[in-house]
Structure 1
Amino acid sequence: MAMRTRLSICRRKARFASEEEAVQAARGASVVLRSYRCDRCGRYHLTSRTKGKRPILPDPNLR
């Protein structure tokens, strides 16, 4: 059973209209992040929880 995003968490996070936008933001971050589609708002958020998931690594050319 998949975890449902808490509404309070959804409201706090940045929202991206597409997965591509979220991935671009994740690549610019200084930590490893991954994107996911929110079951509350239907948009994409970023998370640092990557256990068992495929993370998006930061772009080394942006530093």
Structure 2
Amino acid sequence: MVLTLSICAKKARYVSEADALLAIAKATITLRHYACDRCGEFHLTSRTKGKRIARPVTD
């Protein structure tokens, strides 16, 4: 199986999950992050259909 990075080249990449979460916090739309199986970094998506959205942590 050949994994191409051409798809990833068009997307913003975040080296760490923390970096991706910071970008989500600054966004004006609902986003979620995911680890990419091609490049090993994190990307963001606005697609949430069928995906469980984590609830904010409250103390």
Which one has a larger percent helix, Structure 1 or Structure 2?
1
Runs of 4+ in 1 over 4 A off after TM superposition: none
Task: Give the aligned CA root-mean-square deviation in angstroms.
Answer: 2.1
Identity level (%): 59
Q: What is the rounded CA distance, in whole Å, between the counterparts of 2:53 and 2:18 in structure 1?
A: 14
Instruction: Report the secondary structure of 1:20's partner residue.
Output: helix
Identify unmatched segments of 5+ residues in structure 1. Answer: 1-5, 57-63
TM-score by length of 1: 0.68
**Is the radius of gyration larger for structure 1 or structure 2?**
2
Shift of 1:50: 1.0
Structure 2 residue ranges without an equivalent (≥5): 55-59
Number of matched pairs: 52
> Per-residue displacement from partner, 1:9-58 (whole Å, max 9, x unpaired)?
311111101111101101101110000000110000000011122447xx
